[in-house]
Structure 1
Amino acid sequence: MEPQTLQEHLRMANKVDGARRKIYIMLLEDPFPDEEALSAILAYLAAFFRLPVKVVHSPWELMGLTTRPGRSGFGDVQLSMDDVLNWLKRNVPRDAYGIAVVTTIDLFVPGPGRSEYIPGRSHYTQRHGACSLARLCSEVDWKVEPCSRGRFLRRCLKLTSHEVAHMFGLKHCVYTCRMAGTTSLEHHDATTLRFCGRCEGKLQHLLKWSASDLCDRATGLADVLANCSPGAEFDDEVTALRRRPDMPICEPCMAVTSKLQRGPRKPS
């Protein structure tokens, strides 16, 4: 599949205007089980897209969602991604550029032959999406095998920025930037935290960022990453952002190996 061009993106994406300039993050749990991760996500999204981020709550138990028992040890219940998105489609706030669910509850797509779970899905033009952090805390996505706190937070920032960017009309990228379409945690980990120059350019044109805006954005991102960094998890990104604040820090890479595209095999 050919990568989405800048012209294709600008024709498809919803315009950003004064009436719709907020990114809404909807939580299905109250209180949210991981306040530290949530704070990092909210700060990162605000700095990344340079738009206000507003949190709203809707208890999942009251939304009429299809559920099924949890799988592979990742919680007691799974929620239907289709039902979550249908609910969001009917409830997009009038001042929202888009609204995305962020939850620690595992999500699935109903139907025969579907995968065991789905980490995220968003609509390019209808202003809604959803993502689950449920399996990001594990080394692998088919059994519970806890990973480091830093890796978990990195995955949270990657997944949420990816799904929100879909709401801004960005399609999957052929590079290993964060807009690559990943099918496993192994591939997810192989992508960069930030976007490649092609995807950065789409956001810059859509959101009309000036050179000064780009510098302020990089400074804001560096500050967020430095503040949420456990140990030295984000040191390389912080250093690069502060060294060249006017440039994207991830270089395009055409070589996504077939191994990563397939993802890890489950044991027989």
Structure 2
Amino acid sequence: MHSLKDTTIVVTGAAGGIGHAIVRRLTEQGARLVLTDKDAVRLSALNASLGNKHYQFAADISSCNGRVSLLSYCSGLMHPPQMLINVAGINQFAKIADYSDDDIMRMVTINLTSQIALCRDFISLLNTQPSAVIINVGSILGSIGMPGYSVYCASKFGLRGFSEALNRELMDSRTRVRYFAPRATQTALNNVRVNQMNKALGNAMDSPEKVADALIAFIKKDIVSTYLGWPEKLFVRINSLLPALVDKSFRKQLPIIKRYL
């Protein structure tokens, strides 16, 4: 897919930090967007800042009713979606002992199970198009388990595995499933402690705009997945082949990480 002009794209989590930047870059590419987020006020403000040129539908995709309503809305459009970009997600940096049952369920529901259900619900609609794409926005921490992010990693590891398996399941259909994994990003999802920790560890953090630019480039390439950042993408490879080396690296960093936990 080389041109995005007049392509109808559903973007979940559109009003968030990364989502907001992605929406702006897709608008510059001439895409026709369906903006969705549970925050109706921020969603309206985003669309207004773009001249109200896009469709918008406030929905909580972590609920069945929200997903059904969004699918119904998209099914009724004059130009049905050719692409679904799942950006919606949350983060939490904490020791496992500090997670409540509700914290765990919320993280897994928003980051994983709601994404799975939304993909399931949209496949039939997407397959009505000559070709279609689902892009699930994951994380480098969907491939590398990091202390302080155990539950977040579990949700993103799951999303990566789901995306890989579903793409293979749909190889004989009109829809491809692709996986896009940013590294640490400068958004409101990261609190002051996280930013201080990343600085102490020497971890680079990308701007939402840089992530959005990388996503546009990814969409235009014929590849199934990509991982942003160096040396992060190298660590993804090392962790899959020689995880003990990554264990050793984190053992050295653990005192710094625990200082901020």
Which one has a larger percent helix, Structure 1 or Structure 2?
2
TM-score, normalised to structure 2, is 0.38
TM-score, normalised to structure 1, is 0.37
